[in-house]
Amino acid sequence: MRRFWTAGLLLVLVMLGTVFAQQELNFLGRYDDVRFIRQDKSDTNQIVFARLIYNGRILGYYKNWYTDYPKGDEQLIMGIKRLTNLNIADHERAIPLNDPDLFKYPFIYSSEVGQLKFNDQDAAIMREYLSRGGFWMVDDFWGSFEMENFTQTMKKVLPGSEIKDIPMDHPVFHLFYDIDKVIQVPSLAYTINGGITYEQDGFVGECKGIWDDHGRLVVVINHNTDLGDAYEWADEPKYPNYFSSYAYRVAINTILYSLTH
């Protein structure tokens, strides 16, 4: 019984922390959240880790584009600098889908995509972004309900496309690090919930993809897993390095793949 109380308490604290951060930064889960972010928007020859700001609000959801932001992004950039020679900028950038500068960034990352909402105009922008060589990595959404929402969104973006498992012999798993299996990466709650890694009915971690009409992998979908927490809490002694090291390997491989294919 104590374990359930403890896990429940952590969930409440995480929710309160997210809501507090949202109120402090005035984030509402929509494009104009960018007004409340102080960030460097100057042009650079460096690669910039860009996080997508999207419109999204499904009733009952307290998470949004800003989940794990900015610490998760900052920790990932630190890891990329330490583990690779990639000329990546020191600071991330959060950018709305409807910002014309989106097309300056060949790689974008999104969290909690199970609850994003694209209208026809949004879908057209993302379709153009991907068709012009852009690459989208999505993460931290769970279960059948959220996957169905994301699937319906992608039918607007790339009609006729399929979401399929990425085969383990695909270059995205071997470009820099060799990854021989997909593992489920849990949130920080794992440290007190008795080792539970899943959320909702998302019992098995998945790495899926969407390919364009030319056979180019354009979207990498990390489902039933929380790579963002693994970056954000990589400096937390109670959070296992096993998960963080895997998350870094996946991210580095994916980013390098996006820049070379």
Q: How confident is the prediction along the chain (261 residues), in pLDDT tens digits per residue?
A: 444 444 444 444 444 444 444 444 578 899 999 999 999 888 999 999 999 999 987 766 778 999 999 999 999 999 999 999 999 999 999 999 999 999 999 999 999 999 998 999 999 999 999 999 999 999 999 999 999 999 999 999 999 999 999 999 999 999 999 999 999 999 999 999 999 999 999 999 999 999 999 999 999 999 999 999 999 999 999 999 999 999 999 999 999 999 999
In contact, 111 and 69? CB cutoff 8 Å: yes
In contact, 101 and 45? CB cutoff 8 Å: no
- Residue ranges covered by each domain of the chain: 2-260
pLDDT at 181: 97
- Secondary structure letter of residue 202 according to DSSP: B
Q: Global pTM?
A: 0.90
pLDDT at 25: 58
The set of residues, in sequence order, having a beta carbon less than 8 Å from that of 234 and lying 6+ positions away, is: 75, 79, 241, 244, 248
Helices (H) then strands (E): counts for the chain? 6, 7
Task: Give the pairing of strands 93-96 and 50-53.
Answer: parallel
**Superfamily, domain 2-260:** Domain of unknown function DUF4159 (3.40.50.12140)
Residue reference for tokens 């960034």: 105
pLDDT at 126: 98
pLDDT one-digit tens code per residue, 61-86:
778 999 999 999 999 999 999 999 99
pLDDT at 41: 87
The set of residues, in sequence order, having a beta carbon less than 8 Å from that of 15 and lying 6+ positions away, is: 62
In contact, 75 and 49? CB cutoff 8 Å: no
